[in-house]
Amino acid sequence: MNSTRKSIMDAVVVLFNEKGMKFTMDDISKLLHISKKTIYKEFNDKDELFYATVDYGFAAIKQKEAEIIADDSLDLVDKISKVIVCLPDNYRNIDFRQVYQLRDKFPVVYNRIAGKIETDWGETERLLEEAMDKGLIKKVPIPVIKLTIEGAIEKFLSTKELAKTHVTYEESLNSMIDIIINGLRV
């Protein structure tokens, strides 16, 4: 992949996290000091650019996740912890609270993201099921685990309560995973 393409997609991520969906092709060209012509040489339209950016953004996560799963030095429960913490990088880079804005204007892109997230959860689900079968963790409905984790992440991202107490997003996430794996009880 050529570097122009990459830098354009990086700019999309930067602008998305900065302004949500309210950024223009002109914003991209201004940020990178390139002409719109250059953007349109790489991507036929805005749709295609967003679609490619989604794939580009998720590729890193997928790879990281695959490494964790392949790492035989980790036991199953450690893998689950790490894969779950790995997952939120999506939420982080893409800033989940604003993704719903895509649904109407870029439905194809939105569905691509939804699909990617489902796939990512698929990995985690398989690990959870395996751990349940082996008696390493309790048998609990997986949707409960999934929704609890998703809900917590969205809350961490959307509230100002964490900032007030000087607890970082990263620390909160690790605390949350530890609570879910090991419980509050000592």
Does position 45 bind DNA by CB under 7 A?
Answer: yes
- Segment lying near a copy of itself (by CB under 8 A), choices 3-11, 24-32, 87-95, 143-151: 143-151
The count of other CB atoms within 10 Å of the CB of residue 150 is 16
Conformational region of residue 168, where left means phi above 0, alpha means psi within -120 to 50, and beta covers everything else: beta
Measured in residues, the chain has a length of: 186
Residue 167 touches which of DNA, a copy of itself, none (CB < 5 to 8 A by kind)? a copy of itself
Does position 92 bind a copy of itself by CB under 8 A?
Answer: no
Torsion of CA 92, 97, 98, 104, to 10 degrees: 130
For residues 67-106, which are near DNA according to CB under 7 A?
105
Residue 79 to residue 134: CA distance in whole angstroms: 14
Residue 171 touches which of DNA, a copy of itself, none (CB < 5 to 8 A by kind)? a copy of itself
Could you give the string, one character per residue 63-82, with x where binding to a copy of itself holds by CB under 8 A and - elsewhere? --------------x-----
Residue 160 touches which of a copy of itself, DNA, none (CB < 5 to 8 A by kind)? none
Residue type present at position 35: S
Angle formed by the axes of helices 107-133 and 142-158, to 10°? 130
Residue 93 touches which of DNA, a copy of itself, none (CB < 5 to 8 A by kind)? none
Q: Which is nearer to a copy of itself, 67 or 178 (CB)?
A: 178
Give me the phi and psi of 86, to 5 degrees please: -65, -40
- Count CA atoms within 13 Å of residue 65 on its CB side: 24
Tell me, rounded to whole angstroms, the distance of Cα 114 from its chain centroid: 11
Single out the residue of 29, 53, 124, 172 in contact with DNA (rule: CB under 7 A).
29
**Contact status, residue 112 vs residue 54, Cβ threshold 8 Å:** yes
Residue 37 touches which of a copy of itself, DNA, none (CB < 5 to 8 A by kind)? DNA
Which positions touch DNA (CB under 7 A)? 22, 24-26, 29, 33-38, 40-41, 45-47, 105
| Chain positions contacting a copy of itself, by CB under 8 A | 77, 135-138, 140-141, 143-148, 150-156, 159, 161-162, 165, 167, 171-172, 175-176, 178-186
